[in-house]
Structure 1
């Protein structure tokens, strides 16, 4: 039998190739060539319209003009004022002006719901509470709910008291729309009280990373009141695992993680949207229910123990120039609402100053 070709292991490769790969310079050259190839392939996909590396909201396209709310459905719903409440919180005097302005903005849109401001006795002066309730909020004193023992930023130390809204069944309230005081209402949102869910909130948004998220912001919440839920919330503040420095927002995100109904952005006009995606912000305007002044607060003067009534207009002008004037229009809109509030409730506000001192 004639001898056959020399046998070779099927994975051993060509002797010439093996010899080439043993040369370090050649190997480095090959690696560089492959790297450039992959880079140009990536750039090709990016330039050809691929947007797989961004969220759909970063890639927002105005493809329709259909309404978010079904008005025909809303005409058939039953609304009982005493059972539905719009609630805000007051932990110190600095929020007297924004709360009375929030109340005025609710009056302008003719919301049918009750308005309640819960506050901490001893932390809020009588004068500030008088100012805050001048436009229609009912004052309701609550006990402070303590934050976890470590890691909570001082600014958020009282925020766990927000969990009190779950026990507002004691006031005959079955459904709550909670709004932080740094919100201005543009349009009526009473349709939220028709939601069949127990809890709903608006997805959060950050100027930088992570940008648009599925985690929610605790500045706007829909809650169906429940003594059982309130007990579960309060009893696990210190045992649940979450980032304490983000206070009640982080806690609620882990408590309700898979169970929250996420609301459209028209119910959470967070300033960060305008910075992150101006086109999306513009598209939201026709139906936007509220503006959340999360990054630049028109009323904020850096102090917690003053109401700020006396120089608020000057303060608004200063805040309008923050961030290079990015939110100038929105800041001035709040300033106009405050001016209307002064004109509409001027007598009541004067009585607050006279009765409780300046």
Structure 2
């Protein structure tokens, strides 16, 4: 295992779903994610990268579910880079105008996602901790690096930009080293943190169907695109389903689905759920 990573156990195979947990809130999200993956009967390992900011009692449920825990250091970035990507500065220069990021959102921590290229797997599928996997997606392990879905949640104009909540990758320390060199170049500023960086690093990224990363705002912005039988990954971008927030009533069916996975009880067949127009 590379420097900066401390696994709690050895890898159990060459394929893994990987997520990143940086605080107790995202650990709660990861609990529902891990359970959703297990519901699909995948044979791949589930690996949780976690920073030192996550309490042990928040990680325990993930270990109990069988996830492999790998503690990660923050990236060895310069003071100038850290200052440029501090929460107050980055949210001021790149404000979120369509939704609200929760108070526990820490932009600098997002870059720890790049640590997955140091992991001891041959192929991984990365999933943000605020996603649910509703159908088996093991086919993605056979897709090339780098595949991601477009950041579609408002209009067709969104197709030019990728969303880094779901993507395919091939761990390789050499790739990680090249990433770090480009990431922290003099004067570098990545407007949407890891998302902007990954699109720049992989300019020829392969597009996945939106159903492999269906953003929750599609529910009310593009209801004609929503199709429960086709959705494989549901992504709670912006506001999180475990929060009280202004859009909760509009997103209630999605939130109730997330809660069922988090509890591990009364999980419905998503394909049978009514659509947004019902």
Question: Is the pair's TM-score, using the shorter chain for normalization, greater than 0.5?
Answer: yes
Q: Is the 8 A contact 1:204 1:215 kept in 2?
A: yes
Q: Is the 8 A contact 1:100 1:341 kept in 2?
A: no
**3-state DSSP of counterpart to 1:158:** helix
* Structure 2 residue aligned with 1:185: 133
Whether 2:210 is the aligned partner of 1:279: answer no
* TM-score, scaled to structure 2: 0.78
The structural deviation recorded for 1:206 is 4.3
The structural deviation recorded for 1:112 is 1.1
Query: Which structure carries more helix by proportion?
Result: 1
Question: Which residue of the other structure, out of 233, 249, 253, is the alignment partner of 1:329?
Answer: 253
* Structure 1 residue aligned with 2:194: 248
**3-state DSSP of counterpart to 1:116:** strand
Whether 2:237 is the aligned partner of 1:294: answer yes
* Structure 2 residue aligned with 1:64: none
Q: How far, CA to CA, are the matches of 2:255 and 2:148 in structure 1?
A: 24
* Structure 1 residue aligned with 2:62: 132
**3-state DSSP of counterpart to 2:118:** helix
Gaps in structure 2 of 5+ consecutive residues: 1-11, 88-105, 268-278
Q: Is the 8 A contact 1:217 1:249 kept in 2?
A: yes
**3-state DSSP of counterpart to 1:246:** coil
Instruction: List per-residue Cα deviations over 1:141-198 (Å, max 9, x = no partner).
Output: 1221156234325221111111011111xx2x11110111001111010011111x12
Q: How far, CA to CA, are the matches of 1:242 and 1:108 in structure 2?
A: 41
Q: Is the 8 A contact 2:122 2:171 kept in 1?
A: yes
The structural deviation recorded for 1:242 is 6.4
Aligned residue runs from structure 1 range 1-358, under 5 A: 82-121=13-52, 123-146=53-76, 148-154=81-87, 155-168=106-119, 171=120, 173-195=121-143, 197-207=144-154, 211-239=157-185, 243-257=189-203, 259-282=204-227, 285-300=228-243, 318-319=244-245, 322-323=246-247, 325-340=249-264
Q: Is the 8 A contact 1:153 1:246 kept in 2?
A: no
Relative contact order, CA 8 A, sep 6+: which one is greater?
Answer: 2
The structural deviation recorded for 1:205 is 2.0
Across the aligned residues of Structure 1 and Structure 2, the Cα RMSD in angstroms comes to: 2.3
* TM-score, scaled to structure 1: 0.61
Larger Rg: 1
